[in-house]
Structure 1
Amino acid sequence: MTVTTPDSFVDDSLAKRNALLLALAQAIGGASASIVIATAPLVGYSMLDTDKSLATLPVSAMVLGTAFGTIPAGMIMRRYGRRTGFMGAALLGAIAGLLAAFAVFQDEFLMFALGCCISGFAGAFVQQYRFAAADTASDAFKPKAISWVLAGGVLAGVVGPQTVIATKDLFSPILFAGTYLAQAGLSLIAFFLVAFLRIPKPQRHSHAQAGGRPLRQIMSQRRFIVAAACGICSYALMSMVMTATPLAMIGCGLSQNDATLGIQWHVLAMFGPSFFTGNLIGRFGKERIVSIGLLLLAGCSVVALMGVDLANFWIALILLGLGWNFGFIGATAMLTDTYRPEERNLVQAVNDFLVFGFVAAASFSSGALLNVYGWNTVTLLVFPFVVLCIGLLIWLAVAERRADTTA
């Protein structure tokens, strides 16, 4: 006779331990991304003698590294387990920080961009922390486990910028060399944290056992097309404006600390709402939340176009973060309607590759746009893509309503 244990009596002590470790690792190791975002355009700008439009290349390299790391991260952890994958990525992040610091000392732009790229590759593993937190949790505790890790993401938005402020002048007059040495140190702290994880390796299945429809058939669905387009635009527009903002703020006479704190508020706005975004999606629907996110992105541009005071930049960055949260998380929720359980890993990996590929292109182009056409052009470009995505959402709603009436 089999006795089932109610969820209320399931021992989640291991899951809580893992979730706490991953939340701390997210707060420490996850700060690398905000460090690169806040400083890399400024470092790149100082290194370049002629073509300043390439100043945002290091941030683009980080995002591209994340795009290229999404699929290998899944393969490595599926074969060797979460802990091994996370530990290896943390060491790689430390190497990336040391390489970037050495490049700053040597004034080597391409080497610095390579260090940022490697940091992005390691960051692809950090993106998996929230999923790993749910691996050993009961169904009742899974949402809380994920929330704990998201809380770590909020802290990372503070740790990164504060690290920049504390270390940027450590080796003055060589700015930010100490910051990237500190980034390497943060990655090593994350290494020791994830070393204490206890997550069993997943069982591997052959491709034949996995089954599923052809990828082309999945990607041809209307809902997939709209979800992917909205996710790409939400993330790419956010990246384009965010990458250009520190340079624009310095160009308008504001300080490096002002720019760094602006990125801090932006990252907090990106991750802070995650605690209740899911509830809002459940109450108002995925498409409405995506639409609100797109309108917030447009609102960011409106505020940015109204002036170049500190308040304009900071409010615009906060709206940009909120718009990304609603737009990207809502689009991700829409994507979950397009695949079966056995198709999940492949579709998620392909979607992430598309998203981060476009994000890399957006962050790279933002430097050229800012240098050649100015800050107003960067912000104006948000509007046509917002209109496009809202049009796609309307098209999807009409098509699905027609399908329901004819069914």
Structure 2
Amino acid sequence: MLNLPKNVWILTACQSLFMSLSVFIVFVAGIIGSNLSPVKSLSTLPVATIVVGTAVCVIPVIRLMSIFGRKKVFLSACIYTILLIALCIFSITKEMFFLFSFSSFCLGASVATMMQFRFAAIESVEPEKRPAATAVVLLGGLISAFLGTEVATLGKNYFDTDFVGSFVLLAFLFVIAFMLMTFFQPAVKFKEQVDESKRSLVEIVKQGSFIVAVCAATTGYVVMSFIMTATPVSMHVMDGHSLHHTKIVLQSHVIAMFLPSLFTAIIVRYIGLTRMMLLGVILFFISIIIAFASHALTNYWWSLVLLGLGWNFLFIGGTNLLPRSYNENEKFKVQSVNDFLVFGLQALAALSAGWFVFNFSWEVVLLSVIPLLFMQLALLLWWLKKNG
């Protein structure tokens, strides 16, 4: 890993800064929403809208990169994010819930830009180093687990309005990201591939490898996002756990999402991609059982840690399986479809999380994902049998 080019390490650092935005919003937006929202069941709307914004902006962001190149879009995203953080501050101080939700939606473009860091890293290395480059970039999420939550708690009481100082600190992270990104030098100018393939998109998506890859990544994101979005509300707002304890649980969850990336290549080498994804589903089941058993702090902690581990195995597995479904000149359209499906369905999960937890209960949130997990389990067992 240490012999990877400079670009990969720059992208890793920027990943940690950009992803702090996602961690930050998940941590505080539901709490802010519960104070500003006219309807309690809408309190997680700002969390959901950033996911919706990500899904909506995935294809436009990739298109902009095909026109202007990755670096210009990465740098522009930093400035764009700082301006939107200012809008978030304005909406909080004026107690404008729907403007805050709209600001969060627009921040989805920043997250969609971050999602391209892994592809930029892959383009910077030889084919045999791609798994290592992907893993290193995703490890930036480890730092974001601390940055996002620490920035939120440190700045909470800086000003008269709660969390305004937190957003100010968050803006400084993107100033740093901008400075770092000036050193990024794309190895090859990113441009949209001329599609010389005779295969239609329908033909590509009908392949077993595409279906399994997209379903694994989608299941990982939908289940993780649905439960994670509901967690701060259930823990802090409904169960009365302290903000400090909620922060620790969320930090541990994000660490569990990305720490296994250090060992993913070894796991794949010994048990294979499909068995690793199966392990991810099993971890999801165990996570749900633990969370269902009690509302104690330890149950929340163990559940969210296992949820993060399960996400890692499913998402990394799906990401590495996807390239088997397309040729080089088909990658643009296939990656676009993959990301749109994954983040579009994740958006639906995040949108419904707050409504479920307020109108039903934490237990209903947990039980509602079980049918999806059984379907994913059956799909992976079929794929394992088909491929030995």
TM-score, with length taken from structure 1: 0.89
What's 2:273 paired with?
286
Does the 8 A contact of 1:97 with 1:184 survive in 2? yes
Find out whether 1:321 has 2:321 as its counterpart.
no
What's 1:380 paired with?
367
Change (3 A) 1:226 1:23: closer
- Return the offset for 1:138: 4.2
Change (3 A) 1:20 1:37: same
Does the 8 A contact of 1:58 with 1:114 survive in 2? yes
What's 1:112 paired with?
100
Quick one: distance in 1 between partners of 2:2 and 2:380? 43
Does the 8 A contact of 1:29 with 1:189 survive in 2? no
What's 1:25 paired with?
14
Quick one: distance in 2 between partners of 1:203 and 1:42? 40
Quick one: distance in 1 between partners of 2:302 and 2:325? 35
Change (3 A) 1:283 1:377: same
The residue type paired with residue 119 of structure 1 is L
Find out whether 1:197 has 2:177 as its counterpart.
no
Q: Deviations over 1:226-271 (max 9, x none)?
A: 3322221111010000000001001111011211221111111101
Quick one: distance in 2 between partners of 1:271 and 1:13? 18
Moved more, 231-240 or 192-201: 192-201
- Return the offset for 1:128: 1.6
Quick one: distance in 2 between partners of 1:191 and 1:112? 24
TM-score, with length taken from structure 2: 0.93
- Return the offset for 1:35: 0.3
Change (3 A) 1:202 1:17: same
- Of 322, 330, 343 in structure 2, the residue corresponding to residue 356 of structure 1 is 343
Bigger Rg, structure 1 or 2: 1
Quick one: distance in 2 between partners of 1:297 and 1:225? 20
The residue type paired with residue 223 of structure 2 is L
Quick one: distance in 1 between partners of 2:219 and 2:100? 28
Structural mapping, 1:215-294, within 5 Å: 215-250=201-236, 251-294=238-281
- Paired residues in the alignment total 387
2:139 is paired with a residue whose SS is: helix
What's 2:27 paired with?
38
Does the 8 A contact of 2:216 with 2:315 survive in 1? yes
What's 2:381 paired with?
394
Does the 8 A contact of 1:298 with 1:382 survive in 2? no
- Return the offset for 1:167: 0.8
Find out whether 1:213 has 2:199 as its counterpart.
yes
Quick one: distance in 2 between partners of 1:141 and 1:207? 25
Quick one: distance in 2 between partners of 1:199 and 1:334? 25
1:285 is paired with a residue whose SS is: helix
Does the 8 A contact of 1:211 with 1:343 survive in 2? yes
Determine what percentage of the aligned residue pairs are the same residue. 33
What's 1:343 paired with?
330
Quick one: distance in 2 between partners of 1:82 and 1:343? 19
Does the 8 A contact of 1:241 with 1:378 survive in 2? yes
Does the 8 A contact of 2:78 with 2:177 survive in 1? yes
- RMSD (Å) for aligned C-alpha atoms: 2.2
Q: Which runs of 5+ in 2 are unaligned?
A: none
Change (3 A) 1:365 1:135: same
